[in-house]
Amino acid sequence: MARITYREAISKALWEEMERDPSVFILGEEVGVWGGTYAVTKGFYDHFGPKRVMDTPIAEATIVGAAIGAALTGLRPVAELMTINFAFAAMDHIVNQAAKLRYMFGGQMTLPLVIRTVSGGGRQLGATHSQTPDAIFAHFPGLKVVAPGTPEDAKGLLKAAIRSNDPILFIEHATLYQTRGEVPDEDYVIPIGKSKIQRQGRDVTLVTYSKMLELSMKAADLLSKEGIEVEIVDLRSLRPLDMEPVIQSFKKTNRAVIVEEGWRSYGVGSEVAARIYEEAFDYVDAPIKRIAQKETPLPYNRTLEQMALPQVEDIVRAVKEVL
């Protein structure tokens, strides 16, 4: 295994799939000559050419609309939206077209579309560029939503997404690109819609995904020094949502803390907590705790921004409370 960054893992997945399948192409703002806002597609334009790495106007509805048309006619587009906040400008295309066309036409066509985008705060980009609205998109049947938290998962899940015949929103976190992890050298895919136990434990089940996995692992290390062993379940996909590892872990620990970066109201944590209560109520030994962002537009000021975002200390405190 090579130890590479989250950015490199995503870049390798794209490169390998484009080499493997000539129907795969990339389109988006600054993906070509510039090499991508986060340098994921650096070097792609020179190698694959302008027909397979296409710079677009600053028009998200156009990007997604063109990608939908390309997917319907047999290509496998990977559309990049600079940030998930801009996906709102293409909301009709994403949730009313991409998510529903195959169903509405009785399966007569497939829609092998991947929309790559960046979510999350922590980079002082202001309230309109720092949101984590993952749960909004996961609400819609027909659209798969994937949000990996490690380089290994990022590469394997992106390759699976590109090979899928379904529309997939692939969410990368803005502050994970420099994080490193071991990634297999060989070709591999990770099935979409499968949660993973990232750390074994016995005392509390900690359910999380994306950036919050990193914080949860740090919290687990601190708690372990005090003799508290948490089991961390990484959702990885928000739709389909695989609750089986969560339920099995909860039946072992009888306590749960759910950590997400999005707002607490109507969020991923709400859904996970409701399903635990529905499917494993007899195993509940303490009320389920939810850790999330403060209910406010994210501030620009760095100190205020960090105050609004979930922190390791919040997770540690919540675990101790359920114990």
Per the domain annotation, does 43 fall within a domain?
A: yes
Burial of 88 from C-beta contacts in 10 A (0-12 / 13-18 / 19+): middle
Alpha-carbon 203 to chain mean position: 27
Please give the tally of structural domains in the chain: 2
Cα–Cα distance for residue pair 173/122, rounded to 1 Å: 10
Per the domain annotation, does 191 fall within a domain?
A: no
Which string of b and e fits 291-308 if b means at least 16 CB within 10 Å? bbbeeeebbeeeeebeeb
Question: Same structural domain for residues 217 and 285?
Answer: yes
What was the pLDDT predicted at 127? Answer: 96
Q: What is the percentage of the chain residues whose pLDDT exceeds 70?
A: 100
Residue 78: φ, ψ to 5°:
-115, 100
What was the pLDDT predicted at 228? Answer: 98
Q: Which one from 8, 17, 29, 60 is the annotated catalytic residue?
A: 60
Residue 94 per-residue DSSP state = I
Domain boundary at 134, 158, 183, which?
183
Question: Same structural domain for residues 169 and 55?
Answer: yes
Question: Same structural domain for residues 225 and 142?
Answer: no
Question: Same structural domain for residues 154 and 29?
Answer: yes
What was the pLDDT predicted at 250? Answer: 98
Per the domain annotation, does 190 fall within a domain?
A: no
Per the domain annotation, does 130 fall within a domain?
A: yes
| Res. 206 pLDDT band, cuts 50 70 90 | very high
Q: Which one from 129, 231, 261, 305 is the annotated catalytic residue?
A: 129
> At 262, which CATH number?
3.40.50.920
Domain boundary at 151, 183, 215, which?
183
Between CA 272 and CA 142, with CA 250 as vertex, the angle to 5 degrees is: 30
3-state class percentages of the chain: helix first, strand second, coil last, to nearest 5: 40, 20, 40
For the stretch 244-287, pLDDT in tens is 999 999 999 999 999 999 999 999 999 999 999 999 999 999 99
Q: Which helix (H) or strand (E) is 302 found in, with range?
A: helix 302-308
Question: Which residues constitute the domain of residue 209?
Answer: 196-322
What was the pLDDT predicted at 184? Answer: 96
Cα–Cα distance for residue pair 60/66, rounded to 1 Å: 10
**60 given a catalytic annotation:** yes
Question: Same structural domain for residues 170 and 225?
Answer: no
Per the domain annotation, does 188 fall within a domain?
A: no
Crossing angle of helices 6-20 and 151-163, rounded to 10°: 30
| Res. 208 pLDDT band, cuts 50 70 90 | very high
What was the pLDDT predicted at 293? Answer: 98
Average pLDDT of span 153-159: 98
Question: Same structural domain for residues 166 and 259?
Answer: no
> At 153, which CATH number?
3.40.50.970
Per the domain annotation, does 83 fall within a domain?
A: yes
What was the pLDDT predicted at 9? Answer: 97
For the stretch 301-313, pLDDT in tens is 999 999 999 999 9
Domain boundary at 183, 205, 221, which?
183
Question: Same structural domain for residues 50 and 168?
Answer: yes
Question: Same structural domain for residues 33 and 152?
Answer: yes
Per the domain annotation, does 189 fall within a domain?
A: no
Question: Same structural domain for residues 18 and 147?
Answer: yes
pTM of the shown model:
0.96
Mean pLDDT, the chain, integer: 97
| Res. 323 pLDDT band, cuts 50 70 90 | very high
Average pLDDT of span 93-113: 97
Question: Same structural domain for residues 168 and 37?
Answer: yes
Average pLDDT of span 116-134: 96
Question: Same structural domain for residues 172 and 97?
Answer: yes
Question: Same structural domain for residues 175 and 316?
Answer: no
**129 given a catalytic annotation:** yes
